[in-house]
Chains A and B, each alone.
Chain A
Amino acid sequence: QVQLVQSGAEVKKPGASVKVSCRASGYTFSSYYLHWVRQAPGQGLEWMGIIKGSGGSARLPQKLQGRVTMTRDTSTSTVYMELSSLRSEDTAMYYCVRDLLIGDKNLNGMDVWGQGTPVTVSS
């Protein structure tokens, strides 16, 4: 079955970096985009960016440009999201999510979610 399995919980100090992995299985990795979404405790959802399984650069919101790097390893069907210069406001659950592909049209929604990776930033 289609599955996204993320790496485990992280605790980091302010100023450090964190790298979260997301391994895909059960579908053709190169045919789909993957999004990253985060949710701070008790807060709403924040879209962090998107990367295509087959290649190309990630698209990131301006507020995260310079701090977020998204990469992929097609040999293992894994995407990575690295967030640098961590601050307390980055404490959140981080999700990788598969884009919904309808026919040959991408970007319809997000249909398969990883289990989430909690990241805590604390001194």
Chain B
Amino acid sequence: DIQLTQSPSFLSASVGDRVTITCRASQDISSDLAWYQQKVGEAPKLLIYTASTLQSGVPSRFSGSGSGTEFTLTISSPQPEDSATYYCQQLYSYPFTFGPGTKVHVK
């Protein structure tokens, strides 16, 4: 199975700071990576697919980049409503594993 790691596990940022989350895969997954945001008590929400494509309706302050084994999710100017846990997921090969998550607090 392909393993995904995320760093950091937790981060605290101020409104307007730039936030970067890294997801690393245990093998080459091309660009078959998605990012999700999950707020407390809610189902996850798709933010980014194929590593860098913004899902419809997602604010443009979110962006994704990377290919192969290293990927990043960036929030260019985070807002308090961006406080959530963020997960990456690979869809390159079965099983479609998730990263362990990064909890982001924006104050």
Contact = CB atoms under 8 A, between A and B. Distances in A.
Given A107-B91, A109-B49, A109-B55, A46 B98 contact: yes
A54 B6 CA distance: 35
A116 B43 contact: yes
B89 A109 contact: yes
Interface in A102-118: 102, 107-111, 113-116
Nearest to B47: A109
Interface size class of B (residues with CB under 8 A): 20 to 34
Contacts of B96: 35, 47, 50, 107
A interface, over-half SS? strand
A110 B34 CA distance: 8
A111 B101 contact: no
A11 interface: no
Interface in B29-81: 32, 34, 36, 38, 43-46, 48-50, 55
